[in-house]
Structure 1
Amino acid sequence: MPLPSFLRSFLAWILCVRRPLPTWSEPERLEYQRRHLKHNVFVNVAEGAFWWVGMGFAPAATVMPLFISKLTPSAWPVGLLGALANSGWLLPQLFTSNFVERLAQKKPIVVYLGALTERVPVIFFPLAALLAPRHPQWALALFLTAYAWHKLGSGLIATAWQDMLANCFPLNVRSWLLAGMVVIGAGIALACAEPCARLLETLVFPYNFVVCFAVCAFGVLMSGAILIFTREPVDPVLKPRQSHREFARELPQHLRTDRSLRYALAARVLATCGLMSVAFLTVSAVQRWDLPDRSAAMYTGWMMAGQMLGNLACATISSRWGHKLTLGLGWLLSAVAFILAAMAPAPTWIYPVFLLVGMTSGFDFISAMLLVMELAQPERRATYTGLVNTSVGVVGLFSPLVGSVLVAWSPSALMSLSAGFYLLAALTLWRGVDEPRRRLERQAFRVPGAAAEQEDGAEGEPVEREREHE
């Protein structure tokens, strides 16, 4: 069904799709990218830092489940929160890929549409907490609705954001850029873990959660304001206009012809099934050992510390050996974490669990995204990322709901099942996915001079650099 004309005009205006853009060659794009690299690094690291500061005060794995447990004894809202956390960002991506690939600049989608779909909803988090004492059911409904709006809205602009990063930053900078975002933001959030714990302990409910959610909203809104200053070059590599039906018909062909894509998708699906336990770690520990509310903030601190370590380790390792290795290592760490959670005889065991889960999150944030981007041709980056992420999002939507049933039966069995899924994911990745950088080396050995051309396709780097080097 076509959109109404006024809505099409509004979207065209807010996304600047009718604004005339110059036609750039690849050397011109690279020169603009090089000239503004330091500026873009500063802007995007600052944006990411504010984002992670905000998320550090209200993580979906610790503070948010605890807040929901104050509103209802039922496990399914916590499962729904986990489903949205796992899949909300992923689900919409495939449906925007065809449109994104035809745009010479992606910044208008990320900044202007993202303000409506991703940033505004967080304002309702503290409002839901204020509503909690008198109307807990309405507060629960408002909170889950706002969180769904926020996560699905993030997914609407996700392919554009990923493509904008690939357009603004060369391959060897991307891992360190994403690591810098999280390390700075998580470092600040880690420093605030103890004040956050005091807030949850000393302020009466719901004002303790009001303050945490207000800081979260401030960080997210500030990150959106900073992102306006990104300087994106005009992308000369655009996909020809294609109907949505033609685009959908090509998707199975990508899976049939690209073995690495198939196995990367299967591995991500298995790892997403392993995420079914994350939303229940805090609630299970609090209820099992009758822990105070401040424990959620302390778990957040350990998780943020793990995220910092994971990001730094991932950037260091992946820049030399590629993202396949780091992604598999991250999943093995989660397998160990959930085995520890299943066997935990005391609440102190949960601290290293969150440390390892945070490290996996750091590995996953960088390598899960960049591995798929490196497998794709530049004009197909949005298609590959959208295909993988939306497929994973469908699984992530249901796995925590299954977890909400299993946790009532046996929390330890649920944790053990998650560990098994992560082990299978790592095995599938290592057995089936061909590291893109090794594939380039083999092709260069077979066909002299072909490495530069293939590198242009798989990693978005230009042939001209190789020629200039020669």
Structure 2
Amino acid sequence: MGATPDWLKPAMQAINIDDEGRACKDIPEAACRQEGGNVLRHVASLSLSKSADGLVDPKLVLSWLLTTLGAPALFIGMLVPIREAGALLPQLFTAGFLRSIPQRKWVWSVGAACQGLSAIAIALSGLFLEGRAAGLAVLGALAVLALARSVCSVCYKDVLGKTVDKSKRGQTTGLAGSLSAVVVIIYALLLSFGLLERMTLVISGLFLAGAAWLLGSLIFTGLKEEPGATEGGKNAFNEAMKNVSLLGTEAQLRRFIIVRALLTATALAPPFMVSAASQQGQGAFEALGFLVLASASASLISSYVWGWLSDRSSRKVLIFSGLVAAVALVITLVLMEIDGLGNLFALPLILFILMIAYQGVRLGRSTHLVDMADKETRAAFTALSNTVIGIILLFGGLFGVLAETLGLVWVLGLMAVMCVLAAFIGLGLDEVQENA
């Protein structure tokens, strides 16, 4: 690769890339010479993928869509479990095989394309189906999307490590995250201001997400990736089963997994909150833009703070996140009792609080697991924890059954109890940062 073209220099400077006269620290010289173009392709592909994720948010967009289409609460309650478990569990079985592929950019590209086609299938379901048929079709397409996402997740860090120097990986993914956040916020504002009919905008957003994934897939194929190591791949599920005895011998790991399992309520609750609000008026339907904006804003505002706090005490972050989530869910229950949840701004404000807690859970759990383990036990702890949580998430669909039989009050009340229990049990976690 020769000198950087003039039209690319501003973009390169924005992500601190000097293509001339720079030595890479931990990637081959051949990859180093291509790094400038590779970074731009990473930023473009990852920005498109993350933007598409925001446009196909199961917690909000898809739960709103199925509620509007009259799908049963059972299907709405299965959106998040399918999305989360579908993206997590397959990794346990596919990671070893995927490592045998020398150039994994092709795997990521195929996975992104499959996500794009799945998003288009969801959009078509919203256009032509209603009720139970719409629910089944959307859940089926979402399952394929989640599986494809799991494949992309397994491959991405490996491709990034082979094509971008260590000193620029954080900048690359960080810029992609910032760009996608802007896209999601613009989308939320369009939904909020009602410039277009909401169903039209949601369906258009799903088609746009599909196009974004397909374009990102195409861009990613242009990466200059050197063939990588293909040996040493292991089946993470088999590794977890070999180490299942750790649940009996490692009290801290067992306690951590229980806390993490209980805090899945922070991810599972939003669709039921949207459904509850829709039963008390049109507020939830009119407030979709504000809901998406609240979720995106909570992530932008709280992620850095939670990360900073997690580096000091991930235990306290998990405890506090559980309590904050419980408060948000109790407020939801109170407003349900006084018919106040249909107010245009009630649910977005509550969701903002819950999503701040959700971000705390995500950052706290990952930091705690890394710092709790050492280099000898980290792989086993991670595989075992992910296996248990993936299985538990599969059973998260039972909340939909509970909603159908006993009602949403019972579901949200149980989730509030789960968060309080998580905080209480979390008191027994070690302050692992003191030993880090």
Report the TM-score, using the length of structure 1 for normalisation.
0.70
Question: Alignment partner for residue 203 of structure 1, among 185, 197, 203?
Answer: 197
* Cα separation, 1, equivalents of 2:164 and 2:250: 26
Where does residue 292 of structure 2 map in the other structure? 300
Q: Is the 8 A contact 2:51 2:183 kept in 1?
A: yes
Please say if 1:283 is aligned against 2:275.
yes
Partners of 2:161 and 2:227 lie apart in 1 by: 12
Compute the displacement of 1:149 (Å).
0.7
1:417 is aligned to 2:414 = yes
How do residues 17-36 of structure 1 correspond to structure 2 at under 5 angstroms?
Answer: 28=26
Tell me the equivalent position of 1:270: 262
Q: Report how far residue 424 of structure 1 moved.
A: 2.5
Within 2, Cα distance between the matches of 1:72 and 1:148?
Answer: 20
The 3-state SS of whatever aligns with 2:392 is: helix
36-45 vs 180-189, greater mean Cα deviation = 36-45
Residue 244 of structure 2 corresponds to 252
Deviation at 1:128, TM superposition (A): 1.6
1:150 aligns with 2:141: no
Displacement of 1:439 in angstroms is 2.8
User: C-alpha separation between the residues in 2 aligned to 1:286 and 1:315?
Assistant: 34
* Residues 308 and 362, structure 1, Cα contact 8 Å, conserved in 2: no
Partner of 2:392: 395
AA aligned to 1:194 is L
The residue correspondences of 1:52-451 to structure 2 (distance < 5 A) are 52-99=50-97, 107-108=104-105, 111-115=108-112, 117-132=114-129, 137-161=132-156, 181-198=176-193, 202-203=196-197, 207-228=200-221, 240=232, 247=239, 249-255=241-247, 258-291=250-283, 293-318=285-310, 320-321=311-312, 323-344=314-335, 345=338, 346=340, 347=343, 348-369=345-366, 371-373=368-370, 384-406=381-403, 409-433=406-430, 435=432, 437-440=433-436
Q: Distance in 2 between matches of 1:396 and 1:56?
A: 21
Secondary structure at the counterpart of residue 288 of structure 1: coil
Q: 2:72–2:135: 8 Å Cα contact kept in structure 1?
A: no
Q: Secondary structure at the match of 2:260?
A: helix
* Root mean square deviation, CA, Å: 4.1
In the aligned structure 2, how far is the partner of 1:405 from the partner of 1:153? Answer: 29
Match of 1:5 in 2: none
Residues 259, 433 of structure 1: 8 Å contact kept: no
Provide TM-score, normalisation by structure 2: 0.75
Equivalent residue letter for 1:414: V
Identity between Structure 1 and Structure 2 (%):
19
* Length, aligned pairs only: 406
Q: Which amino acid aligns with 1:342?
A: L
CA contact (8 A) 2:47 2:176 kept: yes
Alpha-carbon contact 1:107-1:164 (below 8 Å) kept:
yes
Q: Is the 8 A contact 2:72 2:132 kept in 1?
A: no
User: SS where residue 252 of structure 1 aligns?
Assistant: coil
d(CA) in 2 for partners of 1:183, 1:332 = 29
Shift in Å, 1:305 = 0.9
Answer yes or no: is the 8 Å Cα contact 1:33–1:233 preserved in 2: yes
1:146 Cα deviation from its structure 2 partner: 0.8
Supply the AA of the counterpart residue of 2:349: P
Query: Paired residue for 2:3?
Result: none
Cα distance change, pair 376–180 in 1 and its aligned pair in 2 (3 A): farther
CA distance, structure 1, for counterparts of residue 313 and residue 39 of structure 2: 21
Q: Secondary structure at the match of 1:432?
A: coil
SS at match of 2:274: helix
Q: 1:400–1:240: structure 2 CA closer, same or farther, 3 Å change rule?
A: closer
1:219, 1:300 → 2: CA distance?
Answer: 19
Offset, 1:211 = 1.0
Aligned match of 1:50: 48
| 1:262–1:404 Cα change, 3 Å | same
Offset at 1:309?
1.1
Contact 2:402 2:410 in 1 (8 A): no
* Partners of 2:108 and 2:155 within 8 A in 1: no
The 1:341–1:394 alpha-carbon spacing in structure 2 relative to 1, beyond 3 Å, is: same
Q: C-alpha deviations, 1:191-222, integer Å up to 9, x for none? A: 331312456x74385x3432121122233334
Task: Give the letter aligned to residue 290 of structure 1.
Answer: Q
Query: Aligned-pair distance for 1:416?
Result: 2.9
- 2:19 alignment partner in structure 1: none
The answer to whether the 8 A contact 1:187-1:304 is kept is: no
Equivalent in the alignment of 1:452: none
Stretches of structure 2 that go unaligned for 5 or more consecutive residues are 1-24
Q: Tell me the SS of whatever aligns to 1:90.
A: helix
Q: Is the 8 A contact 2:105 2:159 kept in 1?
A: no
Aligned partners of 1:337 and 1:159: how far apart in 2? 34
